[in-house]
A and B are shown apart, each in its own frame.
Chain A
């Protein structure tokens, strides 16, 4: 009998997922604490999206299990929110910003009910938080990439969850949106929310996250950023990918010569 730790938000045990007998995740095992900003990083095709989908119950693992706040997933669905990759949907779909954010208020049980006053209020507040109120009736295809990403973010806010899974929220967004998302994430963390974010940009990892999971089919390492992003770990994760290796080199250079840009970014975020 193990003693359950209440501060554990997400735990995955022995997760293996395979497509056509080709393993995408192999014996992935970790416990993520609540109230932290956690990054999942790794090269392309390392199973980051698959891992997030498995944690959310969108995919069923071939072996292993996931628990959220020490309970099986279906007991705590209302406590988790999901921001899928922006490219995973067709933005020409006939829906307005309001319609999409309202989907954050849906659940399997409430699907046949009309939205309550509370639902409508939360939706409007969520849209306000990401600064899209002027576009509330706009068809989602007429928004820029950054605005579309903020629509997804607003939808996850409308879910009023405790754990937020975000798949590459910084891909293809403008600088303003990146800052806005980051500010929002820090506010959410201050409110005690857990944020688990798939990320691919090694350079910003240490700025954004408290902890990182370095993934390449297996878990290479998991823990605080400083202990995980070591030369040896990065080589193990990125292996022979040459262009990435050069990026790693850049990263090492940066840690030796701190760049002013970083301070600048921190300053704008605080504002």
Chain B
């Protein structure tokens, strides 16, 4: 190799490309910052994502539990309502099904020895079954005995409404509507 050539080879060469502006030196720095920042944010985001996903699943499971409990509660309430409706139907019937035998007994007890019932009739009202239409024919009785009968019936919590009485010779006819009073 000749000296000339060696010299020529060591001669400083002019740049083949133009230098970048100094601000472009920030590009690699920005790259590293973006890399580190991106890694940080993506890691935290992924961790948050997993946490949110887990919490969402928990919330959904909790909601399912609540829904199940609501269904159970509503079913129980529906059962109670049904039972109540049946009880109301029975109570309504029973209200109009009170015993009539005590009425006969109390009326008989209220009469004196000379009096005799020739006819006693009790008819239940169709519209208000708790009410009874009461009629009686009394032979040899006195008008005062009717007051005794009404008093006796009041002890059975019946009130005589619109009483009508008629006396022809020895026969007293008495009619009234017995209305149940619940105190």
A and B physically associate: no
Interfacial residues, chain B to chain A (CB-CB below 8 A): none
